[in-house]
Amino acid sequence: MKSKIINKRKNKNIFEQFASAVTKKAGSTGAFILAFTIVIVWIFSGHFFGYSDTWQLVINTGTTIVTFLMVFLIQKSQNKDSIAVHIKLNELVASNDKASNRMVDVEGLSEDELRTISKYFEKLAELTRNESDVHESHSIDDASDNHNEKMKGSKRSGK
């Protein structure tokens, strides 16, 4: 039983690694150049195949298969990235004394509940716009002060 669990984890890890690698490669310049080259070769090969139905079917079938498979690989990678982002945001909310812990795992709320919370932040944004402009609320000096405070805190805690 234990070996089955280990094998499942190993297989899952292999698939995750494969999905991540393919997603990264598919979004690269090299992948675009390869796809573009295939289309150009296909266009010019039409002359030799008489622009037949089979010639058209080759590109249609190829692109359909690649698109079908890529949808699932990209969605898998996006799901993983989404979970990671939610965890990071939850950590920030949980670590901030002024932030409401109700915001942790907020993605589990209903759409109506999210709208209610959104109205709160819309009101907060409106109040902020009326108080000052972005240059006053996010000055370079404030960024330096913020950084210095964090550095003092990390030196005290040994991080």
Q: How far apart are alpha carbons 80 and 54 in whole angstroms?
A: 39
At residue 12, the pLDDT reads: 65
DSSP character string of 51-88? T-HHHHHHHHHHHHHHHHHHHHHHHHHHHHHHHHHHHH
pLDDT at 154: 65
How far, in Å, CA of 150 to CA of 52, rounded? Answer: 67
Distance CA 62, CA 26 (A): 15
What is the mean pLDDT, run by run of 10 residues, along the chain of 159 residues?
60 81 91 96 94 95 95 90 91 88 86 92 84 67 79 66
Distance of CA 9 to the CA centre of its chain: 23
The DSSP 8-state label assigned to residue 108 in this structure reads: G
Domain borders along the chain are 1-79
Alpha-carbon torsion (125, 131, 137, 142), positive or negative: negative
pLDDT score at 40: 96
**pTM, two decimal places:** 0.59
Contact 70, 26 (CB under 8 A): yes
CA distance 70 to 92: 33
